[in-house]
Amino acid sequence: MVAIRSINKGKRDVDMTEGSILQHIINFAFPLLIGNIFQQLYNTVDTWVVGNYVSNEAFSAVGTVGPIINMLIGFFTGLSSGAGVVISQYYGAKRFDKVHDAVHTSIVMTLLLGVVFTAVGILMIPPMLNLMKTPAEVFPESSAYLTIYFAGVLGLMLYNMGSGILRAVGDSKRPFYFLVVSAVLNTILDLVFVLVFNMGVRGVAWATIIAQFVSAILILITLMRTEICIKLILRDLKMDWEMLKKVVRVGIPAAIQMAITSFSNIFVQSYINYFGADCMSGWTAYSKIDQLILLPVQSIALAATTFVGQNLGLNQVERAKHGIRTSLWLGIGTTVVIMIPVLFFAPPLVAFFNSKAEVVQYGSLLLRCISPFYVLSCFNQIYAGALRGAGNSRAPMIIMLCSFVFFRQCYLYIMANFISNEIIPIALGYPAGWFVCSLVMLLYYRRVGLAHTRIVETPGEAEASEEAEEQLPEV
């Protein structure tokens, strides 16, 4: 095995255990934000091309499959977050040999899960579309898009895991660069496949998975060529079961929470589908804008996860807490600045995706009713990210499942069946869940804080532990 180094001239990894906290958060979150914007362009461009050059049914088909995609991808994203936390804490603790083991175990896990997710994703398409009460005129297009998407889902998984590894050591710039490349490629292929070859929704699906594989290849090449502790060495690819246990222990709660939340959104989508194709299209346009609005706070939350992970790895608890407060205020300020123009320019934003008058009316109404509540997400996103960085992913899982699944589904059922089965009361199920989650998350953090501290040891602590074991009497 080649020598494992943590530092090299012109390194791209960032040690967050020292220096300006605000600067670290901003420098990490900004390229991550821009990268996430480009990642959202995958589906955004898909929906724009389909909405303007195919048909309204195709537009609805591409837009409404999001909950199904997010259910499987959310599970993997949550699981991969466990790898990021383990790597960031080992990196902060200067255990570079363990970083090496965690990287290779994570890649092997991704390859194995890629096969499973492809098979499961394709098999679950018909029952999931039926569960969403997908209209007959939309069903064939939705099924075609999902089949192609899940056939190439491994590319997305490899990119997400590889970029998570880079972010764990403070490098959020190169994942951004690769997303720019793949997003531009996706846009070009969308236009070529739809306008030149008339492939419809199948064309945008093929464009997406090709672009995703390109980003995956770029990130793997980067990992293989780096000279720091995250270097990917093909002959070292193996499953370290002890390391896997750490990754799974942190990642599984987040994976379950994201998957079940996305699954519950299938039922939310069924409530929206009740109002017909125009409302579905308006909801689709709103959803794309919604995802973009929430990206800044989500990026800051990921920055908080890495910051807390690295600092707790070195047992710097107070610095970690300071980073959480800084992240929260930065998230609130950014969200407010974005939210205000959305309220004023809702109609043209919706019309960008679909200019049909009824669609614009529905989409604008949804945006203006829900946008004022986006600030609530700052609390649940950042505190959840901070707790996961500390290795405590169970509490965010329980709180988010109770808020986003149980409470939200109860709200929707009672509202639709006993109070008012109209679009706005139904749509307010999202802000209601955000409010409950933020309140409980805040109360939990105030009470527990970072009590569930780090999951790794510094080199000195590890040596002390080994010496203590050697001194134990034989039995």
Backbone angles phi, psi at 374, to 5 degrees: -65, -30
pLDDT for the residue numbered 332:
93
Which residues, including other chains, have CB under 8 Å from residue 18's CB and lie 6 or more apart? none
Report CA 331 to chain centroid distance, whole Å: 17
Q: Where are the domains of the chain?
A: 21-457
The end-to-end CA distance of the chain, in Å, is: 37
pLDDT of residue 79 exceeding 70, the answer is: yes
Region of 276 on the Ramachandran plot (φ > 0 left; ψ -120 to 50 alpha; else beta)? left
Burial of residue 470, with CB atoms counted within 10 A of its CB: 0-12 exposed, 13-18 middle, 19 or more buried: exposed
Does 469 or 274 have the greater pLDDT score? Answer: 274
* Residue 458 to residue 315: CA distance in whole angstroms: 9
* Residue 432 to residue 410: CA distance in whole angstroms: 11
Nearest to 163 by CA among 109, 236, 258, 84: 84
Q: What percent of the chain has pLDDT over 70?
A: 89
* Residue 427 to residue 295: CA distance in whole angstroms: 20
Residue carrying the six token digits 């906290």: 21
Q: Count CB-CB contacts under 10 A for residue 421.
A: 14
* Residue 32 to residue 24: CA distance in whole angstroms: 12
Across 23-27, 50-54, 79-83, 259-263, least confident range: 50-54
pLDDT for the residue numbered 473:
45
Does 296 or 73 have the greater pLDDT score? Answer: 296
Burial of residue 116, with CB atoms counted within 10 A of its CB: 0-12 exposed, 13-18 middle, 19 or more buried: exposed
pLDDT tens for 434-457 read 999 999 999 998 888 775 555 555
Over residues 171-195, the mean pLDDT reads 86
DSSP 33-74: HHHHHHHHHHHHHHHHHHHHHT-HHHHHHHHHTHHHHHHHHH
pLDDT for the residue numbered 5:
45
| Cα torsion 311, 439, 271, 360: sign | negative
- Do the beta carbons of residue 359 and residue 278 sit within 8 Å? yes
Instruction: Please count the helices (runs of H) and the strands (runs of E) in the chain.
Output: 20, 0
Element of type H or E holding 133: none
Which among 61-65, 91-95, 217-221, 464-468 has the top mean pLDDT?
217-221
Over residues 80-109, the mean pLDDT reads 88
pLDDT for the residue numbered 455:
59
Nearest to 118 by CA among 77, 160, 148: 148
Over residues 230-253, the mean pLDDT reads 89
pLDDT of residue 150 exceeding 80, the answer is: yes
pLDDT of residue 251 exceeding 80, the answer is: yes
pLDDT for the residue numbered 253:
83
- Do the beta carbons of residue 109 and residue 247 sit within 8 Å? yes
Taking each helix axis from N to C end, the angle separating 241-273 and 394-401, rounded to the nearest 10 degrees, works out to: 10
pLDDT for the residue numbered 353:
77
Structure-block tokens of residue 76: 């993997």
Q: What percent of the chain has pLDDT over 90?
A: 22
Over residues 135-157, the mean pLDDT reads 87
Confidence band of 468 (pLDDT split at 50, 70, 90): very low
Which residues, including other chains, have CB under 8 Å from residue 428's CB and lie 6 or more apart? 369, 370
pLDDT tens for 193-225 read 988 888 888 888 899 899 999 999 999 999 999
Average pLDDT, rounded, for the chain: 82
pLDDT tens for 381-440 read 999 988 888 878 888 889 988 998 899 889 988 988 888 778 888 888 889 999 999 999
- Do the beta carbons of residue 49 and residue 208 sit within 8 Å? no
Region of 18 on the Ramachandran plot (φ > 0 left; ψ -120 to 50 alpha; else beta)? beta
Structure-block tokens of residue 309: 């992970």
pLDDT for the residue numbered 436:
93
| The amino acid at 40 | Q
Instruction: Give, in order, the Cα–Cα distances in Å from 434 to each of 89, 407, 468.
Output: 29, 10, 47
pLDDT of residue 42 exceeding 70, the answer is: no
Q: What is the pTM of this model?
A: 0.72
- Do the beta carbons of residue 307 and residue 317 sit within 8 Å? no
* Residue 341 to residue 346: CA distance in whole angstroms: 8
DSSP 222-279: HHHH--STT---GGG----HHHHHHHHHHHHHHHHHHHHHHHHHHHHHHHHHTT-HHH
pLDDT for the residue numbered 101:
93
DSSP 68-100: HHHHHHHHHHHHHHHHHHHHHHHHHTT-HHHHH
Residue carrying the six token digits 């362009």: 41
